Structure 1
Amino acid sequence: MLADRPRSREGGGVIAVMILVTVLAAGIYFIGLDGYPLLDPDEGRYAEISREMLETGDFITPRLNYVKYFEKPPLFYWCVAGAMALFGQSEWVVRMVPALAGLLTVVLIMALGNCLFGRRVGVMAGWVYLTSVIPLILARLPIIDGLFSLLLTATWGTWWCGYRALPGGAKRRWYIAAWALMGLAVMTKGVAAIALTGGIVLGVIALRSDWRALGSLCWISGLLVFAVIVLPWHLAAGFRNPEFFHFYFV
């Protein structure tokens, strides 16, 4: 028992560092969000689309300057419009969604690193992400990529947990969660989520020569969950706007 005390203290120290990294991330990502106007063209574009959704009450057809805008799926717009409905319209509120996505990405990376490789690796991975320039930019600008990065990280992490799990209920749940998260990623930035996730999964399986793993991906139930998340908006947008599918996919 005495020999276990140093390990316990070390584990407690690592947890304290994880909490510290989380607090630092919250400060870095959230403080001063309203200290400067909307700068990047995408900032104003996505903020205005979200504002017009809230104004018109039409959450199916995105509009920019009241003109139909089908460049991207609507999940990010929905999140920003929801924040506006709760907290009002300001630069801070518009930027709150990507800031929260950045914070959750740091926490998720630490949690995945902890589960897969140990607490020290989790802390280091979270710290590296927090101190990287591109994630900082994505977390402080109201653009789609911060939320997209969070959902891709969650998709790949849950898939990897499912891949490593023993056959059974836990493996199935991890895989279905990965399908659901990939659906949310598609609702954020389109089919790029499928291409990137497919590349990661096939790359890992090819490196391990474990092609039988493809058969255990819960294709039927996973695709059903994916379709429930992705299809309703696409079908509704196409039904309301005959030009949608040609513009969106072509």
Structure 2
Amino acid sequence: MDGSVPQQRMSLRHVSVAQLTSLVERSHARLCAVLVLLSLVCFLPGFTTLQPMDRDEPRYAQASKQMLETGDFVDIRFQDEARHKKPVGIYWLQSASVALGEALGVPEARTTIALYRIPSLLGAIASVLLTYWAALAFFGRRGAFLTAALMATCVILMVEARLAKTDAMLTACSVAVMGGLARAYLSRGAGVLPRRALLIFWTGFTLGILIKGPLVLMFAGLAAAVLSYKEHSARWLLTLRPWLGLLFTLAIVLPWFVAIAIKSGGEFFAASVGKDMLGKMGTAQKYHWAPPGFYLLSFFATFWPGAILAAIAVPFAWIHRREEPVAFALAWIVPSWIVFEAVPTKLPHYTMPLFPAVAIITVMAIARHFVGPHRPAAKPAALLIPFIPLGLAIGLSIVAWSFDGLPPFRALPALIISSLLALWAWWLFVKNRMVPTLWAGFLSSAFLAIGVFGFAQLDLRSLKISDRLAEVAHNVPCGNPQVATLGYREPSLVFLTGTNLDMLDSGAEASRFLRQGGCRVVFVDKRFEGEFRAENERLRQKPVLSTRVQGFNINSGRQVDIAAYATGF
């Protein structure tokens, strides 16, 4: 009798879990609500406290801020420099987000980086929900849910959800387009697509062009070309109603493209196509070169925790490549991946819009019991699952100790839990329990987000150089100081201190800047301080050394020691 009670309780527990799962899976709305909750857990920690991340994020945010300052929503500028690299979509979204924040009374809204990040957060959540929608063309609800959850918890989307850039929103647009294209291909015998699918497809296509120009066209165009070659016909594309869709697209995007062409005298197209896009294809931009194979290697970090399962699923994709769902997913991934590997300029997030297709193939292979410990070298390879959180826990502790003198105490509990969950995921994999392996990975990723973004970055104060300098400028005992910087030129400092920040080139310039009178602050990197002091002595002026800010500049890869000098009080 005593032995039956625990057994009965265990049975009831299992039944309740099964009932809960069944209850959630009864409607798309409930599954989407769970996906949104999972996304928020992964995306929100550190969203408001992470400093503006040089160099791209503050460039986007500053350009959006200048649109609000000038009222010019056609031209895109960073200080006095034209920023003719990407179309205007993300700047409009960021400006609208900040304007709404101002209207709601957010203090210092225009220098609150979190407001500029809201479009990226919404884009990341939309990427997850649209991945669910796209995957419904391949699976039932459970398979689509697991596919979307792999996107919600992957490292690169967690990063991009917190950065005021184009990439999270571009991914959402790309998944919308590819989900519509999948329906056109997989149901091409039906002859007609639902209006909702057409609306999602063309809205994603149009917004994608306004966000990042031709990339959405590349993803869809290459996939369509490969599939049309396979079918010996492109007639299936007619179900997308291309002429009506193109008219819709032109009606939305053409006014701004005409306006910027007139305003810039054609310089926008010369810069965005000739210098930015073709420059990346021809010769790599400084600091961003990497050899072919870079994305294959970085994939094991960017798509964690699903990366190793996806790698095990590769033979499945090859074996079943002639099946229509697999063929479509491969057409989504392979041609664009080859282009990215061939282009000299490489950044880890470039391949992110292809990851929903990777997740689809992975879940497909798991559903058919292809992925598991029975695959060659799968058990040792699965050790990569705990390697990422363990590596981050150790690496961040070393970095925090080296730069700030203390380990990240607040982050360690979450990082340890993440590592233990990842080890559990490996153990479940060894036991051939694939769906629980996925869930353990999802939970591990959520705790990783809490540990790294929620707490660890708070303790890495030595990396927050621009924040500390801006704080110095705002706290000088005189109102509205003129600010200049010598030797430290990160865009985040422009964003945080003001559009009129002077970028100086010599100690003599810094000394003459202070001599102009009024309330002034100049930041002088130690490399230029001797020249600066010598010029001050020659001019017989004695600026006040307000403070020194020391830290590590990630972009230059060196220690910095910056003195803040002030006059006028």
CA distance, structure 1, for counterparts of residue 143 and residue 62 of structure 2: 40
Shift in alpha-carbon separation, 1:83–1:172, aligned structure 2, 3 A: closer
CA distance, structure 2, for counterparts of residue 41 and residue 71 of structure 1: 15
User: Structure 2: any 5+ residue segments left out of the alignment?
Assistant: 1-17, 102-108, 275-569
1:41 paired residue among 26, 40, 55: 55
The reply on whether 1:248 has 2:272 as its aligned counterpart is: yes
1:81 paired residue among 95, 105, 110: 95
Query: 2:23 — aligned with what?
Result: 12
CA distance, structure 2, for counterparts of residue 177 and residue 228 of structure 1: 16
1:230 paired residue among 253, 258, 264: 253
Secondary structure of 2:136's match?
helix
The residue type paired with residue 46 of structure 1 is: Y
Is the contact between residue 67 and residue 95 of structure 2 (CA under 8 Å) also seen in structure 1?
Answer: yes
Q: CA deviation at 1:224?
A: 0.9
The residue type paired with residue 72 of structure 2 is: D
Instruction: Report the number of matched residues.
Output: 243
Query: Which shows bigger deviation, 200-209 or 220-229?
Result: 200-209
Query: Which shows bigger deviation, 194-203 or 43-52?
Result: 194-203
CA distance, structure 2, for counterparts of residue 221 and residue 195 of structure 1: 20
Shift in alpha-carbon separation, 1:10–1:36, aligned structure 2, 3 A: closer
User: Could you tell me the percent identity over the aligned residues?
Assistant: 26
Q: TM-score, with normalisation over the residues of structure 2?
A: 0.40
CA distance, structure 1, for counterparts of residue 33 and residue 199 of structure 2: 29
Shift in alpha-carbon separation, 1:174–1:91, aligned structure 2, 3 A: same
The reply on whether 1:205 has 2:219 as its aligned counterpart is: no
User: Considering only aligned residues, what root-mean-square deviation do their CA atoms show, in Å?
Assistant: 2.4
The reply on whether 1:219 has 2:242 as its aligned counterpart is: yes
Q: CA deviation at 1:24?
A: 1.9
Shift in alpha-carbon separation, 1:108–1:180, aligned structure 2, 3 A: closer
Q: TM-score, with normalisation over the residues of structure 1?
A: 0.87
Q: CA deviation at 1:27?
A: 2.5
The reply on whether 1:114 has 2:128 as its aligned counterpart is: no
Query: Which shows bigger deviation, 89-98 or 210-219?
Result: 210-219
CA distance, structure 1, for counterparts of residue 90 and residue 257 of structure 2: 15
The residue type paired with residue 234 of structure 2 is: W
Q: CA deviation at 1:233?
A: 0.7
Is the contact between residue 180 and residue 229 of structure 1 (CA under 8 Å) also seen in structure 2?
Answer: no
Secondary structure of 2:46's match?
coil
Is the contact between residue 135 and residue 179 of structure 2 (CA under 8 Å) also seen in structure 1?
Answer: no
The residue type paired with residue 188 of structure 1 is: I
Structure of higher CA gyration radius: 2
Query: 1:149 — aligned with what?
Result: 171
Q: Which of structures 1 and 2 has the larger relative contact order (alpha carbons within 8 angstroms, sep 6+)? A: 1
Is the contact between residue 135 and residue 147 of structure 2 (CA under 8 Å) also seen in structure 1?
Answer: yes
Q: CA deviation at 1:152?
A: 0.6
CA distance, structure 1, for counterparts of residue 40 and residue 256 of structure 2: 32
Query: Which shows bigger deviation, 194-203 or 149-158?
Result: 194-203
2:78 paired residue among 59, 64, 67: 64
Q: CA deviation at 1:120?
A: 0.9
Alignment map for 1:114-193 (pairs within 5 Å): 114=136, 116-163=138-185, 164=187, 166-168=190-192, 170-171=193-194, 174-175=197-198, 177-193=200-216
Is the contact between residue 159 and residue 175 of structure 1 (CA under 8 Å) also seen in structure 2?
Answer: no
CA distance, structure 1, for counterparts of residue 224 and residue 213 of structure 2: 18
Of Structure 1 and Structure 2, the greater helix share is in 1
Is the contact between residue 155 and residue 181 of structure 1 (CA under 8 Å) also seen in structure 2?
Answer: yes
Query: Which shows bigger deviation, 118-127 or 30-39?
Result: 30-39
Secondary structure of 1:73's match?
coil
The reply on whether 1:103 has 2:125 as its aligned counterpart is: yes
Is the contact between residue 134 and residue 182 of structure 2 (CA under 8 Å) also seen in structure 1?
Answer: no
Secondary structure of 1:140's match?
coil
Shift in alpha-carbon separation, 1:246–1:91, aligned structure 2, 3 A: closer
Shift in alpha-carbon separation, 1:210–1:12, aligned structure 2, 3 A: farther
1:198-220 residue CA offsets vs partner (Å, 9 max, x unmatched): 01222233344443324444232
Of Structure 1 and Structure 2, the greater strand share is in 2
1:151-189 residue CA offsets vs partner (Å, 9 max, x unmatched): 011111122224426224x45763464234212101111
Secondary structure of 1:108's match?
helix
Is the contact between residue 238 and residue 244 of structure 1 (CA under 8 Å) also seen in structure 2?
Answer: yes
Shift in alpha-carbon separation, 1:75–1:128, aligned structure 2, 3 A: same
Query: Which shows bigger deviation, 206-215 or 187-196?
Result: 206-215
CA distance, structure 1, for counterparts of residue 42 and residue 20 of structure 2: 28
